[in-house]
Chains A and B, each alone.
Chain A
Amino acid sequence: MTGSVGPPLLDVRDLRVAFDTEGGVVHAVNGISYTLHEGETLGVVGESGSGKSVHVLAMLGLIPRPPGRIVGGQVLFRGRDLLALPERHLRRVRGAEIGFVFQDPMSSLNPGMTVAAQIIEPLRIHLGLDRRAARARARDLLDLVRIPDAAARLDQYPHEFSGGQRQRVMIAIGLACRPKLLIADEATTALDVTVQAEIIALVQELKRELGMAIIWITHDLGVVAGLSDTVQVMYAGRILERGPVDDIFRDPRNAYTLGLLRSLPDLSRGRAGRRRLQQIDGSPPDMHHPPPGDPFAPRNTYATPRCRTEMPPLIQAPGAAPGHLVAAWYDLPARLAEERAP
């Protein structure tokens, strides 16, 4: 974790989000708390429905309301509670101090506006640049995200760009006002694997150049490995485990994290070390009626009776690196050791 001294950039406290649907209330985010420091890169991992995307959208007032609803909590960004800010003030944070990159670059860019117009927009709104200055800045931004021949492409429409290039444009928009925090929501999911790698490499470079904090939301633990300082595993609207990326990969303490790791191909080991990929059995809980205890318990072979009735708190994992937190009633390393012993 870089820059962990001083007050955090982002301090999420007991955030709860629900959706009112015809089938009842969906509890999408169920009290999550974490902090993010300046320049830190946080990878948020979980499957769809884990609340990983919803919670960042909710932070910035981007979930549709109704049916969405913030049930409780605080989100302190540079000391201000975003949830308490009126929409008018929140707009000054969106796109200026916090940049967003969304999943599908195909549908996330306005098909009827030129790329220049879309990049210029936040510059004019937040920085008050005049048309000419904003345009010059837009060209620089396209250069920054390595789009060749930027000047000539400014006046093209999104459909004239390839998928990867469109995602680069999205990143340029997200970075336009030099935000303190860039949130990327499944930013590479819709792309081919090779393009995915290019985008990740680009983000790593930009992070070094610009030094902003990043929240990288993905369902792919593999993507997180190369990019993040910290990993946070979410399931059913809760954080099950969180800690320094190396420590999480080396010493997972939650059975769900272990399951995710075991479903990854491990290319670092030699042929002899390779093992069969495993999948996690069962399906995610019905979020209309989340189970009373640990939401992963029904799918967890290591679950104890207490797991089914009581949600474990997220606490420092004993014997793990500092800042490695886990929510589990069971002792995963001990159980794994038992398994290995005959």
Chain B
Amino acid sequence: MLRFLAHRLTLAIPTLVLASMIIFALQQLLPGDVATALTGEERDPEVIAFIRQKYHLDQPLPVRYAYWAAGVLQGDLGVSVRLQKPVAELVLEKLPVTLELACLAMLVALAIGVPMGILSAVKRGTWMDAAANGIALWGLSIPNFWLGILLILLFSVHLGWLPASGYVPPGESLVDNLRAMAMPAFVLGNAIAAVMMRHTRAAMLGVLGSDYVRTARAKGVSPLRLVLRHALPNAAIPIITLGALEFGQLLSGAVLTEQVFSVPGFGKLMVDAVFNRDFATVQGVVICTAATYIALNLAADVLSAVVNPKLRRA
């Protein structure tokens, strides 16, 4: 187990380092003088000079990267020129909101996708299978910002049941928090539910056709126990690993969902930063997203090792 974990870590760390290099290199794409571009609409020569010095812009790119990476490792993601705050502070402030949204959305996705996938695999070839596949295709094809707009139109504008936008911290009022998060979480979870349904269906079909499921049937095991005790635990490994890959999509989708529902999270921070030409914040958000994504995949690997006895003992 420890060896397995160590192996995964040795893969994850260079990935993160490379990703950070790519993200850092993005600023090379800025047209014109980097210092001027980085300061955004700010034209104060003092600020430009500060930026030039802060980012060691007179040095060659690799050296600049080394300074930047050293800063990132110490938790220094730079300073938002626009908001006059350290980027790390901004990120930490917004991250919990997005993580709450992402976790709620994942719950929605699992609650819809996994049972639907199981049902469609068990009832393969029936109208239920066809219906589940149809719903999945719908979920895959509907743009989630549009779904968000439609839901606002229905539940906020017409019915007035749920707030159209805004965010209430759970510490303040859990009920209001959940009311505000209900639509964003559903919208975000909807697309992932479709993907989870397809993964679950494929994994369950593979397992249901396996020899050991036939053995279990030959033992006289009931259909319910067959699915829950024999098939699902074995199908869980691909569902977990593939599900973790969907966290990337979840974070992507959060950007749009937060924009539609004005949720003050990570995605909103990034989009606002883009429009304010606040590039340090953009870089900070992207590197944190990549780190989160890599960490979640690592967690999924560990989780699937816990589920799979073969990996656990290796």
Does A157 interact with chain B (Cβ within 8 Å)?
Answer: yes
From B214, B222, B229, A108 is in contact (CB under 8 Å) with: B214
Does A207 interact with chain B (Cβ within 8 Å)?
Answer: no
Does B215 interact with chain A (Cβ within 8 Å)?
Answer: yes
A259 to B211, CA, bound (A): 32
Contact flag A102-B215 (CB < 8 Å), given A91-B220, A92-B220, A107-B210: yes
Does A109 interact with chain B (Cβ within 8 Å)?
Answer: yes
- In the bound complex, residues from chain B placing their C-beta under 8 Å from that of A100 are 215, 218-219
Does B182 interact with chain A (Cβ within 8 Å)?
Answer: no
Does A213 interact with chain B (Cβ within 8 Å)?
Answer: no
- In the bound complex, residues from chain B placing their C-beta under 8 Å from that of A122 are 219-220
Q: Are A60 and B218 in contact (CB under 8 A)?
A: yes
- In the bound complex, residues from chain B placing their C-beta under 8 Å from that of A113 are 229-230, 233
Separation in Å of the A104 CB from the closest CB of chain B? 6
From B209, B212, B219, B233, A94 is in contact (CB under 8 Å) with: B219
Interface range for B: 20 to 34
Q: Are B212 and A108 in contact (CB under 8 A)?
A: yes
- In the bound complex, residues from chain A placing their C-beta under 8 Å from that of B220 are 91-96, 122, 125-126
Does A62 interact with chain B (Cβ within 8 Å)?
Answer: yes
- In the bound complex, residues from chain B placing their C-beta under 8 Å from that of A38 are none
Separation in Å of the B71 CB from the closest CB of chain A? 46
Separation in Å of the A163 CB from the closest CB of chain B? 14
Nearest B residue to A183 via CB reads B218
Does A282 interact with chain B (Cβ within 8 Å)?
Answer: no
- In the bound complex, residues from chain B placing their C-beta under 8 Å from that of A294 are none
Q: Are B217 and A94 in contact (CB under 8 A)?
A: yes
Nearest A residue to B223 via CB reads A87
Q: Are A104 and B216 in contact (CB under 8 A)?
A: no
- In the bound complex, residues from chain A placing their C-beta under 8 Å from that of B222 are 91, 125
Does A111 interact with chain B (Cβ within 8 Å)?
Answer: yes
Q: Are A125 and B309 in contact (CB under 8 A)?
A: no
A94 to B234, CA, bound (A): 23
Q: Mark B297-311, 1 if CB is under 8 A from A, else 0.
A: 000000000011110
Q: Are B217 and A109 in contact (CB under 8 A)?
A: no
A95 to B215, CA, bound (A): 9
- In the bound complex, residues from chain B placing their C-beta under 8 Å from that of A24 are none
Separation in Å of the A118 CB from the closest CB of chain B? 8
Contact flag A66-B125 (CB < 8 Å), given A104-B211, A125-B219, A157-B310: yes
Q: Are A62 and B217 in contact (CB under 8 A)?
A: yes
- In the bound complex, residues from chain A placing their C-beta under 8 Å from that of B291 are none
Does B128 interact with chain A (Cβ within 8 Å)?
Answer: no
Q: Are B234 and A112 in contact (CB under 8 A)?
A: yes
A108 to B125, CA, bound (A): 25
Show the binding face of A for B, using Cβ within 8 Å: 60, 62, 64, 66, 91-96, 100, 102-104, 107-113, 121-122, 125-126, 157, 159-160, 170, 173
Query: What would be 5 A-B contacts, judged by CB atoms less than 8 Å apart?
Result: A94-B218, A100-B218, A111-B212, A111-B310, A122-B220
Complex A-B, nearest 5 residue pairs according to Cβ-Cβ distance, in ascending order: A95-B220, A95-B219, A100-B218, A107-B211, A94-B220
